[in-house]
Structure 1
């Protein structure tokens, strides 16, 4: 039973068959609030980490969604689908029995680092106000601009079927936001000359949220709903703290910038454009960005709130 407003993040282990919005709807019912949002969609067929923001934590969703992510993805060679995953219609099949594991591993190296991806048609990217998956359902294919993403790590951890028509490989991927793993699988197949699709996907982490400390939907329904909430301050713990003087609190939570006279304590090694937590009496007030005050002869920092956490 929820007896007071809840503000924080729940680290959900999304099951297959549910959309990210389905999960949001369940948490809206459990926590009795409409202020619930996910931090980046996970395809219905995929499973894994899906941080869900509740209450005032919805304000920080973008800062979680923008973090690096890790996956385990199974690639099936020699089969191309129109969605680049196993949910789509098969477009072509090729005998990939001549591909050796050693060759596959070598090709993976070409996809580590900064790469370009063309978003798949079956995606939520908008072009001229229409989501690509809506156009895809209508049988349309439109031109898409390549996007820059970064693959930090790409390793094979299991494989089978080398020497057969459609070998499979399970890969571990650590990547930047905006990376389409099914497109990565598709492009690896293109590079090998046999085509491929993503036949399974497990997201193992989003920022600090790991599959090791995630909870299932069943555990959420049956357990203590309050205890599984991760406080906003804990979610943002990697951002340095700037402590305010009492007289600056009211102006900061109204959205005004924090100037040096209102600062009680701050780290010595701050940089321009850096995000920091603004706190008073150990209470989180806002997330702010550091800016150099050009009107200050000493070029000291001011802190511009980008996300107000405390509501007066």
Structure 2
């Protein structure tokens, strides 16, 4: 089995728990997830199987869409509902003020990573230090909020959808919104609706995956590895160039179209089989050519 499985992670499991569960069901060692989702959160978790594990680094870079509930007036040490309440304040902001502040986060956003995160510092994960009562200085990270669509504001509870770049912590966003409103706040729940091209509408529960694996029908639910590179241009090599390319040789791109230097390209056979991710280089004669960047056959 080689491909990407769109998994609906349930709350209460870590991303690693999901990988371990699937490894046991499928009896396949080469499995990995494409970006950590908080244990308390649910939603889309693309899982790479077999040769698709080579594409994990490319899938973790994809943009995400989440649905979150923000509870204003209550701050916790983890910035979500699983932490200890550290402050409670009255929510005085009006609906219009809440909406205005939330929308102000759209665009470039300098975000300080939370202590309760898997980011490593000096060989230790931040959440390990936090659990020991240690707080260390962190550097802000530049992320991007593409949109925030507010779905409802009921009292101190706000539900919204947010599209963001990789590395964005939605619970930190919730906490920052609360701080800017002067009342604090935390993330009450989180659902990842989309990760790259993988959508929650097509995600499979662990129970469905287990049943399909038992019936032998799971393989047809796998997405092709090349979906990880769908934003790149593609080239289909003739048989002679395919053999040369797969043996590590340079293939002249002159007959295949216009490309630029240092460009990543999806490489297929003439029959449409995805072969590799290629990269454009200059050969010894100064001609723009194609070489293997990462092989998937």
Shared fold per TM-score greater than 0.5: yes
How many residue pairs get aligned? The number is 292
Contact 1:12 1:217 in 2 (8 A): yes
Of 251, 255, 263 in structure 2, the residue corresponding to residue 259 of structure 1 is 251
The Cα offsets for residues 153-187 of structure 1, whole Å up to 9 and x where unpaired, read as 012111211xxxxx010111000011111111111
Say if 2:177 and 2:185, in contact at 8 Å, map to a contact too: yes
What is the alpha-carbon distance in structure 1 between the residues aligned to residue 244 and residue 21 of structure 2? 37
1:51 equivalent to 2:42? Answer no
Structure 2 gap segments, 5+ residues each: none
CA 1:271–1:79: 2 relative to 1, 3 Å: farther
Instruction: State the partner residue of 1:120.
Output: 114
SS state at 1:104 partner? helix
Residue 265 (structure 1) shift: 5.3
CA distance in 1, matches of 2:135, 2:71: 24
The correspondence for 1:226, drawn from 202, 207, 219, is 219
Given the superposition, is the C-alpha separation of residues 246 and 227 from structure 1 closer, same or farther in structure 2, using an over 3 Å criterion? closer
Q: Does 1:136 align with 2:130?
A: yes
Matched, 1:175 2:164: yes
1:34 maps to which of 29, 45, 63? 29
Judging changes above 3 Å, is the alpha-carbon distance between structure 1 residues 136 and 252 closer, same or farther for their aligned structure 2 residues?
A: farther
Quick one: distance in 2 between partners of 1:201 and 1:61?
Answer: 23
CA–CA separation in structure 1 for the residues paired with 2:186 and 2:195: 23
Match of 1:276 among 265, 271, 280: 265
Q: What is residue 186 of structure 1 aligned with on the other side?
A: 175
Q: Over aligned residue pairs, what C-alpha RMSD do you find?
A: 1.9
Shift of 1:235: 4.7
Residue 113 of structure 1 and its aligned partner are, at CA, apart by 0.7
Q: 1:301 to 1:79 in 2, by over 3 A?
A: farther
CA distance in 2, matches of 1:201, 1:267: 45
- Give the Å deviation of 1:271: 4.1
Cα distance in 2 between the residues matched to 1:82 and 1:127 = 19
What TM-score results when the alignment is normalised by the length of structure 2? 0.92
Match of 2:294 in 1: 307
For each residue in 1:176-217, what CA deviation from the matched residue of structure 2 results, as whole angstroms up to 9, or x when unmatched?
011111111111111111111111101000111001111111
Q: Does 1:90 align with 2:85?
A: yes
Change (3 A) 1:245 1:136: same
In structure 2, C-alpha distance between the alignment counterparts of 1:142 and 1:65, rounded to whole Å: 26
Higher mean alpha-carbon deviation, 215-224 vs 205-214, is at 215-224
Give a deviation string over 1:90-143, Cα, whole Å, max 9, x none.
1111111x1111001111232111111111001011111111011111110000
